[in-house]
Chains A and B, each alone.
Chain A
Amino acid sequence: MELTTIHLSKQFKDKTAVDDVCLNLTPGVWGLLGANGAGKTTLMRMIADILKSSSGKILYDGKDIHTMGEEYRNIFGFLPQDFGFFQDFTVKDYLEYVAALKDVPVRETRKKIDGLLHTLTLSDVKNKKIIKLSGGMKRRVGIAQAMLNNPKILIMDEPTAGLDPGERVRFRNFISEFSHGRIVLISTHIVSDIEYIATQNAIMKAGKILDVGTTDELVKQVTGKVWTCLVPADKMPMYEMQLRIINQRSEGNNQVSIRYLADEAKTSDSVMAPPRLEDLYLWLFPQEEISEEGK
């Protein structure tokens, strides 16, 4: 099973949102990393076949997904970044409605819904109107609907936005278990959410895929570029000007432990640190650039 994008591009009036993307998604969890405006959402919408590409195509096991139509949507689950609900529906009503649209047999619907509500700790609110739920709960209802038909391809755009740390951990475990034999593509800003569960990552910048690989393969790019050291607290403003600090922690005695990115050590007592996916993300997407792309 594979989902392939072939020279996929999407041009809006004066902006190329997705630029000649070639990706070959195989079973497992795929993390799609990129700053705001990198083109992740546009790419996901095209994979969901709700947005037409300007050029290129998407194939599922060699068949054009657009031509497959219903057949493709039958094995597909999608959680968009921004989505609404029917405001007067309860959680249960809504999931029953989506289950019918997904052609889940009536007999299986209740069992399936109860199972998902239990897994996503929503059982207590199943008869509550969706409008009355918290942001995190709404997001979990969104996750539940995406999984109702046991999709072979699951695309989730920022699924962990609004979830608290406990919910994020449960989500990671659930997705990790769910992904066996399926293609799960997750875009997120919260790198830690996919760092340990993603079998592959794709890094996107300005509409292009910069790199694809496992977390270990990708972080090699920043090996030797992550440093830690202790600096006096009163000199922090100066270091902040000079270094790309990605983390800082007060150590007492007027000392601050910093983690920074640089091609070489910038202080005499700097120690090379093992790189993480977040370091790579910040190396590739410096804060100023993220702000620019988001505009």
Chain B
Amino acid sequence: MRIYWLEIKRVLKSRRSIILLLIALLMSAVMAWLPVTFEDINQYGEDGNKVAELNGLEAITYKKSLRSINNGEVTPERLKKALNTYQSAVSPYGEDSIYSGDFPVGLYMEKVFPVGSLLGRLPETFSDPKTGQATSLMNISPDKLDSFYEQTVQHLKYIMQMEQKEHPTAQEQALQKYTEVKTPFQLYAGYSRDAFDYIVLYIFLLVILCTAAATPTFSNEYQTGSDSILRCTKHGRSRLAIVKILAALTILAATFVICISMHLLISNLAFGPECMKTSMQMLFSVISLPAINLGQLQAVLAIGGLISLLATISFTLFLSAKCKDSISVILIAIVMCLLPIFTYSTGANWLSFILPSAGIGMQNSLLYQLTGFNYLHIGQMSFWTPCVILAAAVIEIPVFLLLAIRTYCKHQVA
């Protein structure tokens, strides 16, 4: 324990660590706030004239005040009522007028905007099964909404038949998983998808920063020659390696937890904590497989990010124990962090999802895999990619840590 605390103290006294940790903390606030600044809306008076151009928190508050009447359960009845409202308001002018700017602003703010979030998933749900093209809200019969939830299952079937044509096990698994999704969905409008993109982006940057912080753990001592002294001490071999690894993991995991918590706290306070009760299916695809709400999705992303971070750090520590200079370690580690992004660009493949940083990135990220329908296959068996990402990372953590300890103990002073 004594060596552990001294190692923690040593790392935290390093100027490089302090700078990286401060950057991580600063970015947590900045990146949580950025999506808030993207929010804007014009406020109109009763005469239809613009009275204010709202941005940021004011825009969020105003939008929520308009849409809050639809908060709660997304029942077929509420959907029908909202669709009727929408269609009766829009039919005299035509749907195109909304986008061309010819639609009366006052009517839009009174009838169309408030039901926007509630009806947002209908075009997808009733999309053309052959082409997958979304259906216009004007072309959906309100009577069909009695079987809205049955239609979502039907839509999932079509999608899985298209996406996983040759893999019936994957189709069955997806349908089975979707049965767990609670209906009716919940909707508490206000949270933006941009905010989720920024969570993903922030996790990616955090992993890069933490990787940079972990690179000198062993290699710096090799490079400066201080390792020659340390490894000649009684506890200078496996115990020192274990302590260094534990200290690095403790500091970086704590940094991640603090920073991501701060990021989510700022984001949720800005958009409103009640939004977290919204079903994931109401913000992302209506046929998203996870049976969770937005708050739980944030937790899954944070925990998944932590697991990916630990796997990436474990790999970096192994590299650090293997290479004799910090520059080589940081270059290889950063390339490894980015590799899943490049390999995923060639399509979903095993390599993209079994690398330590597989859940980190944008399209290959855990969020987009949770909202998608990518499966990997071995023979007749199919594996949903979010499960592959997390399982691979969980396996890699002890493997790379043991390799790091072994490599450090076997290191020879050149």
Contacts and interface: CB of A to CB of B under 8 A. Distances in A.
Interface of A: 45, 48-52, 69-70, 73-74, 76-80, 82-89, 93, 96-98, 100-103, 106, 142, 145-146, 149
Contact of B235 (A51, A52, A101): A101
A84 B224 contact: yes
Contacts of B233: 73, 98, 101-102, 149
A106 B229 CA distance: 20
B413 interface: yes
B234 A74 contact: yes
Interface in B220-235: 221, 223-226, 228-235
A50 B234 contact: no
Contacts of A84: 221, 223-226
Sorted nearest first, the 10 A-B pairs with minimum C-beta distance are A84-B224, A101-B233, A78-B232, A80-B228, A83-B225, A84-B226, A74-B234, A50-B413, A84-B225, A103-B234
A98 B230 contact: yes
B10 interface: yes
B3 A51 contact: no
A87 B15 CA distance: 9
B6 interface: yes
B273 interface: no
Contact of A86 (B3, B10, B237): B10
A88 B17 CA distance: 11
19 contacts: A48-B232, A49-B232, A52-B412, A69-B237, A70-B237, A73-B232, A73-B233, A80-B228, A80-B229, A82-B225, A84-B221, A87-B14, A93-B10, A98-B233, A100-B3, A100-B6, A100-B235, A101-B236, A142-B229
B412 A50 contact: yes
Interface in B131-168: none
A83 B228 contact: yes
A101 B3 contact: yes
A87 B7 CA distance: 14
B130 interface: no
Contacts of A85: 224, 226
A77 to B, nearest CB: 8
A8 to B, nearest CB: 15
A198 to B, nearest CB: 22
Given A51-B413, A97-B7, A102-B235, 7 more contacts: A50-B231, A50-B413, A51-B412, A98-B233, A101-B3, A102-B234, A103-B234
Contact of B234 (A49, A70, A88, A146): A70
Contacts of B232: 48-50, 73, 76-78
B240 interface: yes
Contacts of A88: 10, 13-15
Contacts of A93: 9-10, 13
A45 B226 contact: no
A52 B411 CA distance: 10
Given A51-B413, A88-B15, A106-B2, A101 B226 contact: no
Nearest to A80: B228
A77 B234 CA distance: 10
A80 B3 contact: no
Nearest to A82: B225
A231 B15 CA distance: 61
Nearest to B2: A100
A45 B234 contact: no
A13 B15 CA distance: 39
B228 A50 contact: yes
A83 B6 contact: no
A122 to B, nearest CB: 16
B70 to A, nearest CB: 56
A277 B15 CA distance: 48
Nearest to B1: A100
Contacts of B2: 100, 106
A69 B232 CA distance: 10
Contacts of A89: 10, 13
A79 B229 CA distance: 7
A149 B236 CA distance: 13
Which of A88, A98, A100, A142 has the largest number of chain B CB atoms within 10 A?
A: A100
